[in-house]
Structure 1
Amino acid sequence: MNWQSYIKSFQSYLKIERGLSKNTIDNYSFDLFRLTQFLEIHEIKTNPITISEEQIQEFIYAISKEVNPRSQARMISGLKSFFTYLIFEDYRKDNPMELIETPKTGRKLPDTLSMQEIDTLIGAINLSLPEGERNKAMLETLYGCGLRVSELITLKISDLFFEEGFLKITGKGNKQRFVPIGTTTQKFIELYKNHIRTHVSIQKGHEDTLFLNRRGKQLTRAMVFTIIKNLAVKIDLKKSISPHTFRHSFATHLLENGADLRSIQLMLGHESITTTEVYVHLDRKHLTQIVNQFHPRK
Protein backbone atom coordinates (compact mmCIF):
# COMPACT_ATOMS: atom_id res chain seq x y z
CA MET A 1 0.00 0.00 0.00
CA ASN A 2 1.11 3.58 -0.63
CA TRP A 3 0.84 6.56 1.75
CA GLN A 4 -2.69 7.43 0.64
CA SER A 5 -3.98 3.91 1.29
CA TYR A 6 -2.62 3.87 4.84
CA ILE A 7 -3.91 7.40 5.50
CA LYS A 8 -7.38 6.49 4.22
CA SER A 9 -7.42 3.45 6.49
CA PHE A 10 -6.28 5.64 9.41
CA GLN A 11 -9.08 8.14 8.69
CA SER A 12 -11.68 5.36 8.81
CA TYR A 13 -10.25 4.19 12.14
CA LEU A 14 -10.43 7.71 13.60
CA LYS A 15 -14.02 8.16 12.46
CA ILE A 16 -15.51 4.75 13.19
CA GLU A 17 -13.51 3.43 16.14
CA ARG A 18 -12.33 6.63 17.83
CA GLY A 19 -15.47 8.64 16.97
CA LEU A 20 -13.47 11.81 16.31
CA SER A 21 -14.97 14.88 14.68
CA LYS A 22 -14.40 15.80 11.02
CA ASN A 23 -12.28 18.80 12.09
CA THR A 24 -9.94 16.63 14.16
CA ILE A 25 -9.63 14.04 11.39
CA ASP A 26 -8.91 16.82 8.88
CA ASN A 27 -6.12 18.13 11.14
CA TYR A 28 -4.55 14.67 11.47
CA SER A 29 -4.79 14.20 7.71
CA PHE A 30 -3.19 17.57 7.00
CA ASP A 31 -0.22 16.67 9.23
CA LEU A 32 0.32 13.52 7.18
CA PHE A 33 -0.12 15.44 3.94
CA ARG A 34 2.66 17.82 4.96
CA LEU A 35 4.93 14.87 5.77
CA THR A 36 4.31 13.20 2.39
CA GLN A 37 4.77 16.53 0.63
CA PHE A 38 8.14 16.99 2.37
CA LEU A 39 9.27 13.49 1.35
CA GLU A 40 8.23 14.13 -2.24
CA ILE A 41 9.97 17.52 -2.50
CA HIS A 42 13.21 16.08 -1.08
CA GLU A 43 12.89 12.89 -3.17
CA ILE A 44 12.98 10.63 -0.12
CA LYS A 45 11.72 7.23 -1.22
CA THR A 46 9.98 5.63 1.75
CA ASN A 47 6.54 4.57 2.96
CA PRO A 48 4.71 4.42 6.33
CA ILE A 49 6.24 1.00 7.09
CA THR A 50 9.85 1.82 6.24
CA ILE A 51 10.16 5.50 7.22
CA SER A 52 12.81 5.99 9.90
CA GLU A 53 13.10 8.21 12.95
CA GLU A 54 15.88 10.16 11.23
CA GLN A 55 13.70 10.93 8.21
CA ILE A 56 10.86 12.15 10.43
CA GLN A 57 13.34 14.24 12.44
CA GLU A 58 14.40 15.94 9.20
CA PHE A 59 10.77 16.78 8.48
CA ILE A 60 10.11 18.14 11.98
CA TYR A 61 13.28 20.22 11.87
CA ALA A 62 12.16 21.75 8.55
CA ILE A 63 8.63 22.38 9.86
CA SER A 64 9.94 24.03 13.06
CA LYS A 65 11.15 26.94 10.90
CA GLU A 66 7.62 27.50 9.56
CA VAL A 67 5.25 26.95 12.49
CA ASN A 68 5.14 27.98 16.15
CA PRO A 69 5.87 25.46 18.97
CA ARG A 70 2.16 24.96 19.67
CA SER A 71 1.40 23.97 16.06
CA GLN A 72 4.53 21.83 16.00
CA ALA A 73 3.43 20.01 19.16
CA ARG A 74 0.00 19.33 17.68
CA MET A 75 1.58 17.99 14.49
CA ILE A 76 3.89 15.65 16.42
CA SER A 77 0.90 14.39 18.41
CA GLY A 78 -0.96 13.66 15.15
CA LEU A 79 1.98 11.76 13.67
CA LYS A 80 2.40 9.74 16.87
CA SER A 81 -1.25 8.70 16.64
CA PHE A 82 -0.77 7.58 13.03
CA PHE A 83 2.23 5.36 13.79
CA THR A 84 0.59 4.02 16.94
CA TYR A 85 -2.32 2.99 14.72
CA LEU A 86 0.05 1.22 12.31
CA ILE A 87 1.50 -0.78 15.22
CA PHE A 88 -1.99 -1.55 16.51
CA GLU A 89 -2.89 -2.97 13.08
CA ASP A 90 0.40 -4.94 12.90
CA TYR A 91 1.64 -2.98 9.89
CA ARG A 92 4.89 -2.15 11.66
CA LYS A 93 6.62 -3.22 14.89
CA ASP A 94 8.17 0.03 16.06
CA ASN A 95 7.11 3.66 16.39
CA PRO A 96 9.58 6.05 14.71
CA MET A 97 8.06 8.87 16.80
CA GLU A 98 8.88 7.21 20.13
CA LEU A 99 12.01 9.26 20.95
CA ILE A 100 10.89 12.49 19.29
CA GLU A 101 10.22 15.12 21.92
CA THR A 102 7.31 17.53 21.81
CA PRO A 103 8.39 21.18 22.15
CA LYS A 104 7.40 22.91 25.37
CA THR A 105 4.62 25.36 24.64
CA GLY A 106 3.64 26.59 28.08
CA ARG A 107 0.05 27.33 28.96
CA LYS A 108 -1.45 29.95 26.74
CA LEU A 109 -4.67 31.09 28.35
CA PRO A 110 -7.20 32.79 26.11
CA ASP A 111 -8.58 36.22 26.89
CA THR A 112 -11.61 36.29 29.15
CA LEU A 113 -14.43 38.77 28.75
CA SER A 114 -15.91 40.57 31.74
CA MET A 115 -19.67 40.69 32.18
CA GLN A 116 -19.63 44.32 31.07
CA GLU A 117 -17.66 43.46 27.91
CA ILE A 118 -20.09 40.65 27.06
CA ASP A 119 -23.06 42.99 27.56
CA THR A 120 -21.38 45.67 25.40
CA LEU A 121 -20.60 43.18 22.62
CA ILE A 122 -24.14 41.80 22.53
CA GLY A 123 -25.54 45.31 22.87
CA ALA A 124 -23.67 46.31 19.70
CA ILE A 125 -25.68 43.88 17.56
CA ASN A 126 -27.92 45.66 15.06
CA LEU A 127 -31.38 44.28 15.91
CA SER A 128 -32.99 46.16 13.01
CA LEU A 129 -31.53 43.51 10.68
CA PRO A 130 -33.17 40.06 10.48
CA GLU A 131 -29.90 38.35 11.41
CA GLY A 132 -29.57 40.60 14.47
CA GLU A 133 -31.93 38.57 16.65
CA ARG A 134 -30.24 35.38 15.45
CA ASN A 135 -26.79 36.70 16.33
CA LYS A 136 -27.99 37.83 19.75
CA ALA A 137 -29.50 34.42 20.46
CA MET A 138 -26.29 32.71 19.31
CA LEU A 139 -23.96 34.77 21.50
CA GLU A 140 -26.31 34.44 24.49
CA THR A 141 -26.23 30.65 23.95
CA LEU A 142 -22.44 30.53 23.58
CA TYR A 143 -21.99 32.39 26.85
CA GLY A 144 -25.07 31.11 28.71
CA CYS A 145 -24.31 27.43 28.05
CA GLY A 146 -20.55 27.37 27.43
CA LEU A 147 -20.81 25.67 24.03
CA ARG A 148 -18.10 25.01 21.47
CA VAL A 149 -18.76 26.77 18.15
CA SER A 150 -19.23 23.37 16.45
CA GLU A 151 -21.89 22.50 19.04
CA LEU A 152 -23.65 25.82 18.49
CA ILE A 153 -23.96 25.57 14.70
CA THR A 154 -25.16 21.94 14.82
CA LEU A 155 -27.74 22.59 17.56
CA LYS A 156 -31.17 21.23 16.59
CA ILE A 157 -34.64 22.42 17.52
CA SER A 158 -35.24 18.87 18.73
CA ASP A 159 -32.32 19.36 21.15
CA LEU A 160 -34.19 22.08 23.05
CA PHE A 161 -35.74 20.81 26.28
CA PHE A 162 -36.86 24.14 27.71
CA GLU A 163 -39.50 22.73 30.06
CA GLU A 164 -36.79 20.69 31.75
CA GLY A 165 -34.29 23.56 31.47
CA PHE A 166 -31.70 21.71 29.35
CA LEU A 167 -30.11 21.54 25.91
CA LYS A 168 -28.99 18.19 24.50
CA ILE A 169 -25.51 18.79 23.11
CA THR A 170 -23.57 16.53 20.76
CA GLY A 171 -19.92 17.22 21.47
CA LYS A 172 -16.54 15.80 20.44
CA GLY A 173 -16.60 12.18 19.35
CA ASN A 174 -20.41 12.38 19.06
CA LYS A 175 -20.64 12.20 22.84
CA GLN A 176 -23.91 13.64 24.14
CA ARG A 177 -24.48 15.61 27.31
CA PHE A 178 -27.27 17.72 28.80
CA VAL A 179 -26.38 21.34 29.57
CA PRO A 180 -28.54 23.61 31.77
CA ILE A 181 -30.01 26.66 30.02
CA GLY A 182 -31.26 29.71 31.90
CA THR A 183 -34.56 31.45 31.25
CA THR A 184 -32.84 34.53 29.78
CA THR A 185 -31.09 32.48 27.09
CA GLN A 186 -34.30 30.54 26.45
CA LYS A 187 -36.13 33.82 25.87
CA PHE A 188 -33.69 34.97 23.17
CA ILE A 189 -33.78 31.58 21.40
CA GLU A 190 -37.60 31.55 21.46
CA LEU A 191 -37.72 35.09 20.07
CA TYR A 192 -35.46 34.14 17.16
CA LYS A 193 -37.10 30.76 16.55
CA ASN A 194 -40.69 31.98 16.62
CA HIS A 195 -40.42 35.39 14.98
CA ILE A 196 -37.32 35.44 12.72
CA ARG A 197 -36.52 31.88 11.70
CA THR A 198 -40.09 31.32 10.50
CA HIS A 199 -39.51 33.84 7.68
CA VAL A 200 -36.43 32.02 6.34
CA SER A 201 -36.79 29.76 3.30
CA ILE A 202 -35.35 26.58 4.83
CA GLN A 203 -33.35 24.26 2.59
CA LYS A 204 -34.03 20.53 2.56
CA GLY A 205 -32.10 18.72 5.28
CA HIS A 206 -31.92 21.79 7.53
CA GLU A 207 -35.49 21.78 8.83
CA ASP A 208 -34.33 20.89 12.35
CA THR A 209 -31.23 23.12 12.41
CA LEU A 210 -31.78 25.94 14.89
CA PHE A 211 -29.50 28.71 13.64
CA LEU A 212 -29.76 29.29 9.88
CA ASN A 213 -27.99 31.57 7.42
CA ARG A 214 -29.87 33.73 4.92
CA ARG A 215 -29.97 30.82 2.46
CA GLY A 216 -31.75 28.59 4.96
CA LYS A 217 -28.76 26.38 5.72
CA GLN A 218 -26.59 25.66 8.74
CA LEU A 219 -24.13 28.42 9.59
CA THR A 220 -20.41 27.78 9.19
CA ARG A 221 -17.84 28.09 11.98
CA ALA A 222 -16.16 30.84 9.97
CA MET A 223 -19.36 32.88 9.87
CA VAL A 224 -19.68 32.82 13.68
CA PHE A 225 -16.01 33.87 13.99
CA THR A 226 -16.66 36.76 11.58
CA ILE A 227 -19.75 37.96 13.46
CA ILE A 228 -17.79 38.09 16.73
CA LYS A 229 -14.70 39.72 15.18
CA ASN A 230 -16.85 42.44 13.58
CA LEU A 231 -18.59 43.18 16.88
CA ALA A 232 -15.21 43.43 18.64
CA VAL A 233 -14.06 45.98 16.05
CA LYS A 234 -17.36 47.85 16.37
CA ILE A 235 -16.92 48.42 20.12
CA ASP A 236 -13.13 48.87 19.80
CA LEU A 237 -12.41 45.90 22.07
CA LYS A 238 -8.67 45.58 22.64
CA LYS A 239 -8.71 41.81 23.06
CA SER A 240 -8.23 38.90 20.67
CA ILE A 241 -11.53 37.02 20.90
CA SER A 242 -13.30 34.15 19.18
CA PRO A 243 -16.38 31.99 19.88
CA HIS A 244 -14.24 30.02 22.34
CA THR A 245 -13.75 33.18 24.41
CA PHE A 246 -17.44 32.99 25.40
CA ARG A 247 -17.01 29.36 26.50
CA HIS A 248 -13.92 30.27 28.50
CA SER A 249 -15.70 33.23 30.09
CA PHE A 250 -18.68 31.01 30.97
CA ALA A 251 -16.42 28.60 32.87
CA THR A 252 -14.32 31.31 34.53
CA HIS A 253 -17.33 33.30 35.73
CA LEU A 254 -18.97 30.18 37.15
CA LEU A 255 -15.81 29.29 39.06
CA GLU A 256 -15.35 32.82 40.36
CA ASN A 257 -18.92 32.79 41.64
CA GLY A 258 -18.49 29.57 43.59
CA ALA A 259 -19.27 26.70 41.20
CA ASP A 260 -17.21 23.55 41.75
CA LEU A 261 -14.78 22.32 39.11
CA ARG A 262 -16.50 18.94 38.68
CA SER A 263 -19.83 20.58 37.75
CA ILE A 264 -18.08 22.86 35.25
CA GLN A 265 -16.31 19.84 33.77
CA LEU A 266 -19.65 18.09 33.17
CA MET A 267 -21.19 21.19 31.58
CA LEU A 268 -18.22 21.72 29.27
CA GLY A 269 -18.11 18.05 28.29
CA HIS A 270 -14.46 17.47 29.24
CA GLU A 271 -13.43 13.85 29.74
CA SER A 272 -10.62 14.85 32.09
CA ILE A 273 -10.88 17.45 34.84
CA THR A 274 -7.28 18.41 33.98
CA THR A 275 -8.58 19.93 30.75
CA THR A 276 -11.03 22.03 32.72
CA GLU A 277 -8.29 23.22 35.06
CA VAL A 278 -6.13 24.42 32.17
CA TYR A 279 -8.39 27.17 30.97
CA VAL A 280 -10.64 27.81 33.92
CA HIS A 281 -8.00 30.07 35.42
CA LEU A 282 -8.33 32.52 38.26
CA ASP A 283 -6.38 35.71 38.76
CA ARG A 284 -4.41 36.18 41.97
CA LYS A 285 -6.78 38.79 43.29
CA HIS A 286 -9.65 36.31 43.24
CA LEU A 287 -7.52 33.62 44.93
CA THR A 288 -6.67 36.08 47.70
CA GLN A 289 -10.40 36.79 48.16
CA ILE A 290 -11.07 33.03 48.44
CA VAL A 291 -8.43 32.62 51.18
CA ASN A 292 -9.69 35.70 53.06
CA GLN A 293 -13.27 34.44 52.89
CA PHE A 294 -12.84 30.75 53.67
CA HIS A 295 -9.55 30.07 55.50
CA PRO A 296 -9.89 29.81 59.29
CA ARG A 297 -6.66 31.78 59.83
CA LYS A 298 -7.54 34.66 57.53
Structure 2
Amino acid sequence: MNITNILKELSGHFISLTEHGLKYGPQGKMLLKNLEEQWFLHCITMSRYNIFLSDEFNNTLNFVIKTEMSDVPFGLAKIEDSKNYWTSDLLPMKKPNIHRIAETTIFQNDTETKDLFHNIQKERKIWWRKLAQFPSRFKLTEEKKIKNCNVVDIEAQFSFGNVIVEKIAYHTDVRKLFSQVDSKKDFTNVQMVEHKASLDWGCLALLCDAYDINKSNKMHLHSKLAPHKVAFHIKRTNSEENTQNDDLNRFVLYLNNMLRTKGLNTILTTSEKIINTCLIPFIISVDATSLENGIIYIRDRSTTLSEAIHVTDLVKYIILRC
Protein backbone atom coordinates (compact mmCIF):
# COMPACT_ATOMS: atom_id res chain seq x y z
CA MET A 1 0.00 0.00 0.00
CA ASN A 2 1.40 3.43 -0.97
CA ILE A 3 0.98 6.74 0.80
CA THR A 4 -1.71 7.90 -1.64
CA ASN A 5 -3.96 4.98 -0.70
CA ILE A 6 -3.33 5.54 3.01
CA LEU A 7 -4.30 9.20 2.68
CA LYS A 8 -7.53 8.17 0.97
CA GLU A 9 -8.38 5.89 3.89
CA LEU A 10 -7.40 8.42 6.56
CA SER A 11 -10.14 10.80 7.54
CA GLY A 12 -10.33 13.85 5.28
CA HIS A 13 -10.91 15.79 8.49
CA PHE A 14 -7.16 15.36 9.08
CA ILE A 15 -5.25 15.35 5.80
CA SER A 16 -6.27 14.83 2.19
CA LEU A 17 -4.27 14.84 -1.02
CA THR A 18 -4.79 17.41 -3.80
CA GLU A 19 -2.84 18.17 -6.96
CA HIS A 20 -1.10 20.96 -5.05
CA GLY A 21 -0.07 18.71 -2.16
CA LEU A 22 -1.46 18.13 1.31
CA LYS A 23 -4.66 19.83 2.46
CA TYR A 24 -5.63 20.01 6.12
CA GLY A 25 -9.14 19.45 7.41
CA PRO A 26 -10.36 20.93 10.72
CA GLN A 27 -8.81 18.15 12.82
CA GLY A 28 -5.59 18.29 10.81
CA LYS A 29 -5.16 22.01 11.44
CA MET A 30 -5.47 21.40 15.18
CA LEU A 31 -2.98 18.53 14.95
CA LEU A 32 -0.51 20.83 13.18
CA LYS A 33 -1.02 23.53 15.82
CA ASN A 34 -0.45 21.03 18.66
CA LEU A 35 2.72 19.68 17.03
CA GLU A 36 4.04 23.23 16.64
CA GLU A 37 3.26 23.98 20.29
CA GLN A 38 5.09 20.84 21.43
CA TRP A 39 8.10 21.79 19.30
CA PHE A 40 8.07 25.32 20.74
CA LEU A 41 7.85 23.97 24.30
CA HIS A 42 10.74 21.55 23.84
CA CYS A 43 13.09 23.59 21.62
CA ILE A 44 12.55 27.09 22.99
CA THR A 45 10.74 27.21 26.33
CA MET A 46 12.53 24.22 27.88
CA SER A 47 15.87 24.70 26.11
CA ARG A 48 19.06 24.74 28.19
CA TYR A 49 20.16 27.79 26.23
CA ASN A 50 18.84 31.29 25.59
CA ILE A 51 16.78 30.91 22.41
CA PHE A 52 15.49 34.01 20.61
CA LEU A 53 12.54 33.66 18.23
CA SER A 54 13.01 35.69 15.06
CA ASP A 55 11.91 36.13 11.45
CA GLU A 56 14.83 38.43 10.58
CA PHE A 57 17.96 36.41 11.35
CA ASN A 58 20.56 39.20 10.99
CA ASN A 59 18.51 41.80 12.88
CA THR A 60 17.99 39.44 15.81
CA LEU A 61 21.65 38.46 15.83
CA ASN A 62 22.59 42.15 15.94
CA PHE A 63 20.16 42.68 18.83
CA VAL A 64 21.60 39.73 20.79
CA ILE A 65 25.18 40.96 20.31
CA LYS A 66 24.48 44.62 21.09
CA THR A 67 22.59 43.76 24.27
CA GLU A 68 25.52 41.60 25.42
CA MET A 69 23.52 38.36 25.43
CA SER A 70 25.79 36.68 22.89
CA ASP A 71 27.89 34.56 25.26
CA VAL A 72 27.80 31.10 23.77
CA PRO A 73 25.88 28.90 23.81
CA PHE A 74 22.83 30.79 22.59
CA GLY A 75 20.38 30.20 19.77
CA LEU A 76 17.97 31.69 17.28
CA ALA A 77 14.72 30.10 16.15
CA LYS A 78 12.07 30.74 13.53
CA ILE A 79 8.88 29.19 12.22
CA GLU A 80 8.07 29.84 8.57
CA ASP A 81 6.59 28.43 5.38
CA SER A 82 9.28 27.06 3.08
CA LYS A 83 9.53 25.83 -0.51
CA ASN A 84 12.78 23.97 0.14
CA TYR A 85 13.00 20.45 -1.25
CA TRP A 86 11.94 17.84 1.27
CA THR A 87 10.59 14.33 0.69
CA SER A 88 8.14 15.55 -1.95
CA ASP A 89 8.96 12.61 -4.23
CA LEU A 90 6.55 10.51 -2.12
CA LEU A 91 3.53 12.53 -3.28
CA PRO A 92 2.38 13.13 -6.87
CA MET A 93 2.38 16.94 -6.86
CA LYS A 94 2.48 19.28 -9.85
CA LYS A 95 3.76 22.30 -7.91
CA PRO A 96 6.56 22.81 -5.34
CA ASN A 97 5.63 21.55 -1.92
CA ILE A 98 5.20 24.39 0.59
CA HIS A 99 5.60 23.11 4.11
CA ARG A 100 5.93 24.69 7.56
CA ILE A 101 9.45 24.63 8.97
CA ALA A 102 10.44 25.02 12.63
CA GLU A 103 14.15 25.82 12.79
CA THR A 104 16.63 26.32 15.62
CA THR A 105 20.26 27.42 15.28
CA ILE A 106 22.54 27.09 18.31
CA PHE A 107 25.99 28.74 18.49
CA GLN A 108 28.70 27.08 20.56
CA ASN A 109 32.49 27.09 21.08
CA ASP A 110 34.31 25.11 18.40
CA THR A 111 35.67 22.69 21.02
CA GLU A 112 32.16 21.69 22.15
CA THR A 113 30.07 21.93 19.00
CA LYS A 114 30.75 18.37 17.81
CA ASP A 115 29.39 16.97 21.08
CA LEU A 116 26.41 19.32 20.80
CA PHE A 117 25.75 17.96 17.30
CA HIS A 118 25.57 14.38 18.57
CA ASN A 119 23.51 15.30 21.65
CA ILE A 120 20.91 17.12 19.56
CA GLN A 121 20.61 14.10 17.27
CA LYS A 122 19.73 11.91 20.27
CA GLU A 123 17.39 14.48 21.82
CA ARG A 124 15.44 15.11 18.65
CA LYS A 125 15.12 11.42 17.79
CA ILE A 126 13.81 10.70 21.30
CA TRP A 127 11.34 13.60 20.98
CA TRP A 128 9.81 12.18 17.81
CA ARG A 129 9.74 8.67 19.26
CA LYS A 130 7.83 9.85 22.33
CA LEU A 131 5.05 11.15 20.07
CA ALA A 132 4.83 7.99 17.96
CA GLN A 133 2.78 4.82 18.36
CA PHE A 134 5.64 2.75 16.88
CA PRO A 135 8.74 4.63 18.15
CA SER A 136 11.33 2.37 16.50
CA ARG A 137 10.34 3.55 13.01
CA PHE A 138 11.92 6.99 13.70
CA LYS A 139 15.63 6.61 13.00
CA LEU A 140 18.76 8.62 12.27
CA THR A 141 20.32 8.37 8.82
CA GLU A 142 24.03 8.06 8.11
CA GLU A 143 25.97 11.29 8.49
CA LYS A 144 26.83 12.94 5.17
CA LYS A 145 29.07 15.83 4.16
CA ILE A 146 27.50 18.70 2.22
CA LYS A 147 29.87 21.60 1.44
CA ASN A 148 31.10 22.92 4.82
CA CYS A 149 28.64 21.06 7.04
CA ASN A 150 27.78 17.56 8.23
CA VAL A 151 24.12 16.58 7.94
CA VAL A 152 22.00 13.88 9.60
CA ASP A 153 18.29 13.32 8.94
CA ILE A 154 15.60 11.91 11.19
CA GLU A 155 13.23 9.83 9.11
CA ALA A 156 10.14 7.74 9.72
CA GLN A 157 10.44 4.43 7.90
CA PHE A 158 7.36 2.95 6.21
CA SER A 159 6.71 0.23 3.67
CA PHE A 160 5.85 2.88 1.04
CA GLY A 161 9.07 4.83 1.68
CA ASN A 162 10.79 6.99 4.26
CA VAL A 163 9.50 10.38 5.40
CA ILE A 164 12.15 12.85 6.55
CA VAL A 165 10.79 14.81 9.50
CA GLU A 166 13.90 16.71 10.59
CA LYS A 167 17.35 17.70 9.30
CA ILE A 168 20.27 18.36 11.67
CA ALA A 169 23.38 20.13 10.38
CA TYR A 170 26.78 20.89 11.94
CA HIS A 171 28.42 24.02 10.46
CA THR A 172 32.12 24.48 11.10
CA ASP A 173 32.49 27.77 9.20
CA VAL A 174 30.16 30.61 10.24
CA ARG A 175 32.44 33.53 9.33
CA LYS A 176 30.22 34.62 6.44
CA LEU A 177 27.20 34.73 8.74
CA PHE A 178 28.90 36.91 11.35
CA SER A 179 30.52 39.13 8.72
CA GLN A 180 27.07 40.67 8.19
CA VAL A 181 26.80 41.58 11.87
CA ASP A 182 27.91 44.98 13.16
CA SER A 183 30.10 43.87 16.06
CA LYS A 184 33.67 44.09 17.31
CA LYS A 185 33.34 40.80 19.13
CA ASP A 186 35.51 37.94 17.91
CA PHE A 187 33.47 34.96 16.65
CA THR A 188 36.32 33.07 14.98
CA ASN A 189 36.05 30.20 17.48
CA VAL A 190 32.28 29.83 17.15
CA GLN A 191 30.49 27.07 15.26
CA MET A 192 26.81 26.18 15.03
CA VAL A 193 24.33 23.32 14.97
CA GLU A 194 21.10 23.81 13.06
CA HIS A 195 18.03 21.58 13.18
CA LYS A 196 14.97 22.02 10.98
CA ALA A 197 11.74 20.12 11.54
CA SER A 198 9.04 20.00 8.89
CA LEU A 199 5.81 20.29 10.84
CA ASP A 200 3.71 19.30 7.81
CA TRP A 201 5.72 16.19 7.01
CA GLY A 202 5.86 15.47 10.73
CA CYS A 203 2.04 15.49 10.89
CA LEU A 204 1.88 13.20 7.89
CA ALA A 205 4.44 10.79 9.36
CA LEU A 206 2.67 10.66 12.74
CA LEU A 207 -0.71 10.03 11.10
CA CYS A 208 0.73 7.25 8.94
CA ASP A 209 2.43 5.89 12.07
CA ALA A 210 -0.95 5.82 13.85
CA TYR A 211 -2.64 4.15 10.89
CA ASP A 212 -2.90 0.38 11.32
CA ILE A 213 -2.76 -1.28 7.90
CA ASN A 214 -4.06 -4.57 9.34
CA LYS A 215 -7.06 -2.79 10.87
CA SER A 216 -6.63 -4.96 13.96
CA ASN A 217 -6.70 -1.93 16.25
CA LYS A 218 -8.16 1.55 16.23
CA MET A 219 -6.01 4.50 15.26
CA HIS A 220 -4.41 6.37 18.15
CA LEU A 221 -2.60 9.69 18.32
CA HIS A 222 -0.48 10.76 21.26
CA SER A 223 -2.71 12.59 23.73
CA LYS A 224 -0.51 15.71 23.48
CA LEU A 225 -1.20 15.92 19.75
CA ALA A 226 -4.86 14.87 19.67
CA PRO A 227 -7.02 17.80 18.48
CA HIS A 228 -9.62 17.11 21.20
CA LYS A 229 -8.57 15.55 24.49
CA VAL A 230 -11.90 14.50 26.01
CA ALA A 231 -15.39 13.43 25.00
CA PHE A 232 -18.31 12.60 27.29
CA HIS A 233 -20.72 9.70 27.57
CA ILE A 234 -23.86 9.65 29.73
CA LYS A 235 -25.02 6.24 30.93
CA ARG A 236 -28.79 6.37 31.07
CA THR A 237 -31.44 3.84 31.98
CA ASN A 238 -34.99 3.74 30.68
CA SER A 239 -36.34 4.14 34.20
CA GLU A 240 -34.60 7.45 34.83
CA GLU A 241 -36.82 10.48 35.14
CA ASN A 242 -36.51 13.51 32.88
CA THR A 243 -35.36 15.66 35.79
CA GLN A 244 -32.45 13.30 36.41
CA ASN A 245 -31.53 13.37 32.72
CA ASP A 246 -31.48 17.16 32.90
CA ASP A 247 -29.21 16.99 35.94
CA LEU A 248 -26.82 14.66 34.11
CA ASN A 249 -26.73 17.00 31.10
CA ARG A 250 -25.91 19.95 33.35
CA PHE A 251 -23.26 17.87 35.13
CA VAL A 252 -21.56 17.09 31.81
CA LEU A 253 -21.64 20.77 30.85
CA TYR A 254 -20.05 21.59 34.21
CA LEU A 255 -17.24 19.06 33.63
CA ASN A 256 -16.79 20.28 30.06
CA ASN A 257 -16.44 23.93 31.11
CA MET A 258 -14.10 22.97 33.95
CA LEU A 259 -11.69 21.37 31.47
CA ARG A 260 -11.95 24.10 28.86
CA THR A 261 -11.18 26.88 31.36
CA LYS A 262 -7.88 25.04 32.02
CA GLY A 263 -7.00 25.09 28.32
CA LEU A 264 -8.00 21.50 27.57
CA ASN A 265 -9.89 21.09 24.31
CA THR A 266 -13.02 18.96 24.61
CA ILE A 267 -15.87 17.98 22.32
CA LEU A 268 -19.53 17.53 23.25
CA THR A 269 -20.89 14.55 21.33
CA THR A 270 -22.73 11.29 21.95
CA SER A 271 -21.53 9.70 18.71
CA GLU A 272 -19.00 6.88 18.97
CA LYS A 273 -18.22 7.44 15.27
CA ILE A 274 -17.17 11.04 15.91
CA ILE A 275 -15.03 9.96 18.87
CA ASN A 276 -13.19 7.44 16.69
CA THR A 277 -12.98 9.76 13.67
CA CYS A 278 -11.49 12.60 15.75
CA LEU A 279 -9.12 10.17 17.55
CA ILE A 280 -10.17 11.47 20.98
CA PRO A 281 -7.94 9.79 23.60
CA PHE A 282 -10.17 9.99 26.70
CA ILE A 283 -13.91 9.34 27.15
CA ILE A 284 -15.52 10.40 30.43
CA SER A 285 -18.60 8.41 31.49
CA VAL A 286 -21.12 9.67 34.05
CA ASP A 287 -24.27 8.09 35.45
CA ALA A 288 -26.88 8.76 38.11
CA THR A 289 -24.52 7.74 40.93
CA SER A 290 -21.99 10.33 39.74
CA LEU A 291 -24.42 13.00 40.86
CA GLU A 292 -24.46 11.49 44.35
CA ASN A 293 -20.83 10.56 45.02
CA GLY A 294 -18.88 12.56 42.39
CA ILE A 295 -17.27 9.43 40.91
CA ILE A 296 -16.75 9.46 37.14
CA TYR A 297 -15.09 6.94 34.84
CA ILE A 298 -12.37 7.73 32.31
CA ARG A 299 -11.63 5.32 29.47
CA ASP A 300 -8.34 5.53 27.62
CA ARG A 301 -8.88 4.64 23.95
CA SER A 302 -5.29 3.48 23.51
CA THR A 303 -5.41 0.96 26.36
CA THR A 304 -9.23 0.47 26.50
CA LEU A 305 -8.90 0.55 30.30
CA SER A 306 -11.36 2.48 32.44
CA GLU A 307 -10.48 4.19 35.72
CA ALA A 308 -12.74 5.60 38.41
CA ILE A 309 -11.76 9.00 39.84
CA HIS A 310 -13.44 11.75 41.82
CA VAL A 311 -14.59 14.78 39.88
CA THR A 312 -12.21 17.04 41.87
CA ASP A 313 -9.25 15.12 40.39
CA LEU A 314 -10.40 15.34 36.77
CA VAL A 315 -8.39 18.36 35.63
CA LYS A 316 -5.18 17.10 37.22
CA TYR A 317 -5.73 13.63 35.73
CA ILE A 318 -6.11 14.93 32.15
CA ILE A 319 -3.33 17.53 32.42
CA LEU A 320 -0.83 14.89 33.57
CA ARG A 321 -1.60 12.84 30.44
CA CYS A 322 -1.94 15.67 27.92
Same fold (TM over 0.5): no
TM-score by length of 2: 0.22
Q: Which has the higher contact order (CA 8 A, sep 6+)?
A: 1
Higher strand share: 2
In terms of fraction of residues, the more helix-rich structure is 1
